[in-house]
């Protein structure tokens, strides 16, 4: 029995959501850093830190929401000793998504650490 194509696409989008949030956070943080430092002649570090803190809180909230969905999917799946099938696949995708969420959260925190530790734009 072939899996439903719409279900497969939805599963893949759910799976890559957290890395996409991290990529957007990374892009926004560094583009904001370039713009703020260029416009303020090196004095906009506080503004940059505030912007990155807002981006970080939003990104972490989205990642936690995604992790929660993956956790429920993982818990609702079949036990690990079950034969291959739809339930085992859902459990695996839930675990893989949960691990990607954890990795993405760590990556967001590392990206946010750069403006927090830098003394100035130069």
Position 6 pLDDT exceeds 70: no
pLDDT one-digit tens code per residue, 41-59: 767 788 889 999 999 999 9
Could you give the 3-state DSSP secondary structure of residue 84? coil
For 16-25, 42-51, 70-79, 103-112, which range has the lowest pLDDT when averaged over its residues? 70-79
8-to-14, 26, 73, 86, 117 alpha-carbon distances in Å: 10, 28, 14, 11, 42
pLDDT one-digit tens code per residue, 67-98: 999 998 888 765 555 556 667 777 888 899 99
**pTM of the model as a whole:** 0.83
């Amino acid at each position: 029995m072939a899996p439903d194509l719409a279900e497969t696409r939805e599963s893949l989008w759910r799976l890559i959501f957290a890395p996409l949030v991290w990529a957007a956070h990374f892009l926004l943080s560094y583009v904001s850093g370039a713009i703020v430092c260029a416009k303020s002649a090196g004095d906009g570090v506080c503004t940059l830190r505030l912007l990155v803190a807002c981006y970080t809180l939003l990104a972490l909230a989205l990642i936690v929401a995604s992790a929660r969905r993956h956790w429920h999917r993982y818990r609702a799946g079949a036990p690990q000793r079950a034969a291959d099938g739809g339930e085992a696949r859902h459990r695996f995708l839930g675990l893989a998504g949960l691990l990607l969420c954890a990795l993405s959260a760590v990556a967001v925190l590392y990206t946010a650490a750069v403006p927090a530790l830098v003394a100035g734009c130069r």
